[in-house]
Amino acid sequence: MAWDFDTDPEYQEKLDWAANFVREEVEPLQYVIKHPNDMEDPIRNKLIKPLQQKVKDMGLWACHLGPDLGGPGYGQVKLGLLNEILGGAGFAPIVFGCQAPDTGNSEILAHYGTQRHKDQYLQPLLNNEIVSCFSMTEPQGGADPKVFKTTAVLEGDEWVINGHKWFSSNARYAAFLIVMCVTEPDAAPYNKMSMIIVPTDTPGVNILRNVGIGGDEDGTHAYIHYDNVRVPADNLLGERGEAFAVAQTRLGGGRIHHAMRTIGQVQKSFDMMCERVLSRETQGELLAKKQMVQEKIADSWMDIQMFRLLVLQTAWKIDKYQDYMMVRKDIAAVKATMPRVFHDVAANALMIHGSLGVSNEMPFSRQVIESFHMGLADGPTEVHKVTVARQVLRDYNGTNGMFPTRHIPALREEAIKRFADVIEDAVNA
């Protein structure tokens, strides 16, 4: 029976190198560079590109990719362990070539793109010469495809796109957008959408404004109006009406990576919380001596450990079955649990730091807001809980009896009948 929680020594050496590298060389970047995806920032390029080369020299560049795309072909468990480290610094994903939404978009292009798409968009994306955007949700209906209104109509050899998209991730800096459009309006909701590549500088792509999260005034999520945007017909990714099949390419593994990066971020908040309670005195003793503070420490630690094991077990199942649909329940459970753990640990850390915790001099208030964003990205938490429940209930059956099958009086009667001879012999002995 194979059951092991150890990491093989060779890979552990890489993880140890990555942890030290992220802590010593990557984490300070966030205090001197405005945004990791601003390719026109000379300070960004001067500081980040040499670090990216170090990562490439260690064989840890774009580890989510298979060997055919220049990656090492790591499974989800190894990727998860690496991403846990990367979660500790906001600039780490770009330094390691695995930043969202580029990771998912690169997988879409690799699976569904033509050779022209790969030459023009994929390879520069993998080299971090450009960044990209995933443009799906809409202002009137969020992520619900049944109410999407952005259309793409084929006129001759061009798609003509019209509509509004909301919270299009990374559009501010993107060289191109992958846009989900209605191309088959009379089809069923999940068969009417298609994915189309749109270069950001195409006439008619109007970024109405960039939207930040919480108090972030320098947002990168765009509100976009597509006004008679014309792109070549072969910018279609996959077949017409296959947008959701295409989208699944970017979601399964991506959610595992995102979850492990979240754990890395939450662990840092937990570390700060522990330092605080061992440093601050009130009412004549350390905060660490207060039972309600101890409760927050205990709850936070248990939440992190349980969530981490859930994510790694899900990663292990993906590696084992090589089929995201067989692990759909687990992936949905990861997605539904992630925002709660993030919120609860960040909120505990915030409270323990007092007024300093709610200030912009500590990361906790932004993390609390980000936890709500996390509960909306890639579909609302409630939707994923529905998926979990439906998948779980497939393994059960109801009963037509008056009472449940585990009704104690019926079980007792059955047991008495089964062991009647033994009981009778014991009574008569």
Q: Which two tokens stand for residue 247?
A: 């989208």
CATH homologous superfamily for the domain 132-237 = Butyryl-CoA Dehydrogenase, subunit A, domain 2 (2.40.110.10)
Q: What is d(CA 344, CA 303) in angstroms, rounded to the nearest whole number?
A: 9
Q: What is d(CA 115, CA 345) in angstroms, rounded to the nearest whole number?
A: 46
**Under a CB-based contact definition with an 8 Å cutoff, are residues 103 and 110 in contact?**
no
**Of residues 144, 152, 335, 124, the one with CA closest to residue 230:** 152
The gap from C-alpha 331 to its chain's centroid, in whole angstroms, comes to 10
Query: What are the tens digits of pLDDT across the range 79-130?
Result: 999 999 999 999 999 999 999 889 889 989 988 999 999 999 999 999 999 9
Neighbour tally for 355: CB within 10 Å: 6
Query: What are the tens digits of pLDDT across the range 362-373?
Result: 999 999 999 998
CATH topology of domain 9-113: Butyryl-Coa Dehydrogenase, subunit A; domain 1 (1.10.540)
Tens-digit pLDDT string for the chain (429 aa): 667 888 999 999 999 999 999 999 999 999 999 999 999 999 999 999 999 999 999 999 988 888 877 778 888 999 999 999 999 999 999 999 999 889 889 989 988 999 999 999 999 999 999 999 999 999 987 878 888 999 999 999 999 999 999 999 899 999 999 999 999 888 887 789 999 999 999 999 999 998 877 666 677 889 999 999 999 999 999 999 988 888 876 666 678 888 999 999 999 999 999 999 999 999 999 999 999 999 999 999 999 999 999 999 999 999 999 888 899 999 999 999 999 999 999 999 999 999 999 999 999 999 999 999 899 887 889 999 999 999 999 999 999 999 999 999 999 999 999 999 998 888 887
Same CATH fold assignment for domains 9-113 and 132-237: no
- Of 3.40.50.720, 1.20.140.10, 3.30.360.10, 3.40.50.2020, the CATH number of 245-393 is 1.20.140.10
H or E segment and range at residue 194: strand 193-199
Q: What is d(CA 368, CA 360) in angstroms, rounded to the nearest whole number?
A: 12
H or E segment and range at residue 163: strand 158-168
Look-up: residue for tokens 């490439």? Answer: 56
Name the residue ranges covered by the structural domains of the chain. 9-113, 132-237, 245-393
**Under a CB-based contact definition with an 8 Å cutoff, are residues 193 and 151 in contact?**
no
